[in-house]
Amino acid sequence: MDSNYGADSIQVLEGLEAVRKRPAMYIGDIGFKGLHHLVYEVVDNSIDEALGGHCKNIEVSILEGNSIRVRDDGRGIPVAIHTKEGRSALEVVMTVLHAGGKFDKDSYKVSGGLHGVGVSCVNALSAHLQVDVERDGHSYRQEYKCGAPQYPVKETGTSTRRGTTVTFKPDGDIFTQLVYNYDTIAARLRELAFLNRGIRITLTDERELDDNGKVITETFLSEGGLVEFVQYLDAQRQALTQPRFIEKTRDMVSVEVAFQYNSTYNENVHSYVNNINTIEGGTHVAGFRRALTRVFKAYGDKNNFFSKMKVEVTGDDFREGLTALISIKVPEPQFEGQTKTKLGNSEVLGIVDTIVGEALNNFLEENPKEAKIIIDKVCLAASARHAARKAREMVQRKSVLGGSGLPGKLADCSSKDAELSELFLVEGDSAGGTAKQGRNREFQAILPLRGKILNVEKAMDHKIFDNEEIKNMFMALGVFHNEAKELNMIKLRYKKVVIMCDADIDGSHIVTLILTFFFRQMRELIENGYVYVASPPLYLVKKGKQFQYCWTEEDRETAVKRLAGEGDPSKVDIQRYKGLGEMNAEQLWETTMDPETRTLRQVTIDSGAEADRIFSMLMGDEVPPRREFIESHAKYAKIDA
């Protein structure tokens, strides 16, 4: 029987061959992101089953050897022979692209990963996959290698439960990274739990126990949904209003919005379409903004709240200190933009606008006290924006002048090609001096930053643009904000910006300050993949003329053993680098700056909402959560993938 199945395998492989040939086309990439995407793709199927009301619990396990198991208590994928296909429906679902929805007429699929490829794609990219179905009192199984079934669906026994369990091991011939990151998966599952209230999702890491010998496991279940999500994001901020919730469906588009105002000056609007984070926004966000501006403006005008204002109140002003989540579900989303995370459906704009507009009107009429608090904040924002614009324009006028527009502290490189040029932001003048000596001046520029830069998380824009270090960064980079606070990068002078700080707690705090600045003021640079963090070594291990730089404790131990050889390990000299200043120019070059030998860590944003929460926690007023976070995440928060 098993060998007979070979013939079918060939047919299957023809279908899935395309996926194995061009995996990146289906799952984005074949590195860390793509690897994790496989998990999300499988979980999405279970989420769909839950959204249809057929499933309450989803269990995700990271197994020993970095296999993944996803188990749900849904109806179970049908196993009966599909007459037209001549084989089990289960096999078709697992081996034919986009076959998932075919056997389920009564539900329209909303969840569906960013690339919406379905579980067959995961199968194609797995060295081994096993699916177990329990339904109608029986249990069934089929296994696959690289997507090819190893035998027809077989009955494995009886069962009183219902559900589907998919266990897979990503193919090492396809992926360049095979190790799963618990926090990355946890962040996505937490987000899914908030976005789909009432679904219990558990994550268990079976690879190791925690420091107390306990199993690493978390359960994500939100009864409050988006309202709880807003509170979670704003946990470290001071709320000015109660969270509000709007929920309505029109023309098959379901709209959910939760928002609250806090005492900061940041806009935190995060949006989702069919559970996908629409980082680039789109028509749903446009509809929300339009309603917000229109309704608040009309309310303020009607009550004469703006009459004393010397400046015009604009849309931006209504969003300062606003944390909002927009989650819509659309039957046929059109994704656009560079990263396909921008919703294009034009009909959605009016739908969201109307639904949010009506709800906001009611809210303002029924809650005059909260309305006044918000309007006062809006007026403050408008005045501050006016002041900030002056400060910003000063910086920008200088930065676009060229020549004399460069900061005095900048040691520029000779290349004028942004593609090749690198800007090192270096903590402190002394390390800056060493970096200047050590660099390759052809393509490496050095900008020393003085000690702690301004914490932009707590400052208003006019303070931010008055800050010397921040002005220097804008001028050196040659970028500026337009009226809508979008970053103009036409004159960007370097396409690699490397943050280089000491490898200690103070250094990592400064990295975080600088990253906060980029995240809040120049997020586009991060989104384009231009921002990096340097990794200076922690140790120099030396014996006689032999030496080795080390980046981890394990590195150091091996180096000591190697250099000691048969001899006495205590004869090996270990130098702990406390700061960049302890290295001479040559050492700094060969360990940290030389493109041939250095390790740079690219800064990426997995989830805008999670990054927002982490920055508010790291840079906000409350000290304990910050300390706890930094201690539990070793060197640098988890803002780099």
In whole angstroms, how close is the CB of 48 to ligand 0RA at the nearest point? 7
**Burial call 520-555: b when 16+ CB within 10 Å, e when fewer:** bbbbebbbeebbbbbbbbbbbbebeeeebbbeeeeb
In whole angstroms, how close is the CB of 37 to ligand 0RA at the nearest point? 16
* Residue 618 and residue 512 in contact, taking contact as beta carbons nearer than 8 Å: yes
Choosing from 49, 91, 205, 502, the catalytic residue is 502
Look at residue 234 and give its three-state secondary structure: coil
In whole angstroms, how close is the CB of 163 to ligand 0RA at the nearest point? 7
Q: Does 95 bind ligand 0RA (CB under 6 A)?
A: no
In whole angstroms, how close is the CB of 156 to ligand 0RA at the nearest point? 17
* Residue 591 and residue 205 in contact, taking contact as beta carbons nearer than 8 Å: no
Q: Does 41 bind ligand 0RA (CB under 6 A)?
A: no
Sites for ligand 0RA among residues 463-482 (CB under 6 A): none
For ligand 0RA, the closer of residues 142 and 164 by Cβ is 164
Of 74-82, 330-338, 349-357, 410-418, which segment contacts ligand 0RA by CB under 6 A?
74-82
In whole angstroms, how close is the CB of 175 to ligand 0RA at the nearest point? 22
For ligand 0RA, the closer of residues 43 and 253 by Cβ is 43
Counting Cα atoms < 13 Å in the Cβ hemisphere of 563 gives: 23
In whole angstroms, how close is the CB of 331 to ligand 0RA at the nearest point? 17
Choosing from 506, 555, 582, 594, the catalytic residue is 506
Q: Does 108 bind ligand 0RA (CB under 6 A)?
A: no
480 phi-psi bin (left φ>0, alpha ψ -120 to 50, beta other): beta
Question: Angle formed by the axes of helices 226-233 and 608-619, to 10°?
Answer: 40
For ligand 0RA, the closer of residues 44 and 457 by Cβ is 44
- DSSP code per residue over 108-133: ------TT---HHHHHHTEEEEEEEE
CA 379 – CA 318 distance, rounded (Å): 9
In whole angstroms, how close is the CB of 123 to ligand 0RA at the nearest point? 12
User: Which pair of tokens denotes residue 362?
Assistant: 């009611």
* Strand (E) or helix (H) holding 557: helix 553-564
For ligand 0RA, the closer of residues 135 and 439 by Cβ is 135
For ligand 0RA, the closer of residues 89 and 360 by Cβ is 89
Q: Does 69 bind ligand 0RA (CB under 6 A)?
A: no
Of 73-81, 205-213, 262-270, 503-511, which segment contacts ligand 0RA by CB under 6 A?
73-81
CA 325 – CA 227 distance, rounded (Å): 9
Q: Does 77 bind ligand 0RA (CB under 6 A)?
A: yes
Of 41-49, 225-233, 518-526, 574-582, which segment contacts ligand 0RA by CB under 6 A?
41-49
In whole angstroms, how close is the CB of 102 to ligand 0RA at the nearest point? 8
Among 34, 74, 112, 478, binds ligand 0RA (CB under 6 A): 74
Q: Does 112 bind ligand 0RA (CB under 6 A)?
A: no
In whole angstroms, how close is the CB of 366 to ligand 0RA at the nearest point? 42
Among 34, 37, 46, 99, binds ligand 0RA (CB under 6 A): 46
Q: Does 113 bind ligand 0RA (CB under 6 A)?
A: no
Among 36, 37, 75, 481, binds ligand 0RA (CB under 6 A): 75
For ligand 0RA, the closer of residues 134 and 412 by Cβ is 134
Among 23, 34, 78, 170, binds ligand 0RA (CB under 6 A): 78
Q: In sequence order, what are the residues at sequence separation of 6 or more whose Cβ sits closer than 8 angstroms to the Cβ of residue 415? A: 421, 442, 443
* Strand (E) or helix (H) holding 542: strand 539-543
Q: Does 103 bind ligand 0RA (CB under 6 A)?
A: yes
For ligand 0RA, the closer of residues 55 and 540 by Cβ is 55
Sites for ligand 0RA among residues 163-192 (CB under 6 A): 164
User: Which pair of tokens denotes residue 71?
Assistant: 């188990």
Among 49, 132, 134, 612, binds ligand 0RA (CB under 6 A): 49
| CB-based contacts of 445-450 (< 8 A; 24+ apart in sequence) | 445/410, 445/411, 445/412, 445/413, 445/421, 445/476, 445/494, 446/410, 446/411, 447/407, 447/409, 447/410, 447/411, 447/423, 447/472, 447/473, 447/476, 448/409, 449/425, 449/473, 449/510, 449/514
In whole angstroms, how close is the CB of 481 to ligand 0RA at the nearest point? 45
Q: In sequence order, what are the residues at sequence separation of 6 or more whose Cβ sits closer than 8 angstroms to the Cβ of residue 368? A: none
Q: In sequence order, what are the residues at sequence separation of 6 or more whose Cβ sits closer than 8 angstroms to the Cβ of residue 516? A: 455, 456, 457, 615, 618, 619
Annotated active-site residue 317? The verdict is no
Choosing from 427, 457, 461, 640, the catalytic residue is 427
Q: Does 45 bind ligand 0RA (CB under 6 A)?
A: yes
- Strand ordering across the sheet containing 531-534: 444-449, 422-427, 496-500, 531-534, 600-602
For ligand 0RA, the closer of residues 45 and 277 by Cβ is 45
In whole angstroms, how close is the CB of 137 to ligand 0RA at the nearest point? 13
Of 45-53, 337-345, 367-375, 382-390, which segment contacts ligand 0RA by CB under 6 A?
45-53
For ligand 0RA, the closer of residues 55 and 503 by Cβ is 55
Annotated active-site residue 211? The verdict is no
Look at residue 448 and give its three-state secondary structure: strand
CA 414 – CA 421 distance, rounded (Å): 9
In whole angstroms, how close is the CB of 323 to ligand 0RA at the nearest point? 33
Sites for ligand 0RA among residues 21-40 (CB under 6 A): none
Q: Does 118 bind ligand 0RA (CB under 6 A)?
A: no
E-assigned strand segments in 312-360 = 322-329, 335-336, 342-343
* Residue 267 and residue 609 in contact, taking contact as beta carbons nearer than 8 Å: no
For ligand 0RA, the closer of residues 94 and 257 by Cβ is 94
CA 475 – CA 491 distance, rounded (Å): 10
Going by C-alpha positions, the residue among 407, 423, 427 that lies closest to residue 415 is 423
Among 41, 59, 72, 466, binds ligand 0RA (CB under 6 A): 72
Look at residue 466 and give its three-state secondary structure: coil
* Residue 127 and residue 35 in contact, taking contact as beta carbons nearer than 8 Å: no
Annotated active-site residue 621? The verdict is no
Q: Does 147 bind ligand 0RA (CB under 6 A)?
A: no
Going by C-alpha positions, the residue among 283, 262, 279 that lies closest to residue 271 is 279
For ligand 0RA, the closer of residues 50 and 269 by Cβ is 50
* Strand (E) or helix (H) holding 366: helix 346-366
Q: Does 104 bind ligand 0RA (CB under 6 A)?
A: yes
DSSP 453: P
Give me the active site residues, please. Answer: 427, 502, 504, 506
The binding site for ligand 0RA (CB under 6 A) comprises 45-46, 49, 72, 74-75, 77-78, 103-104, 164
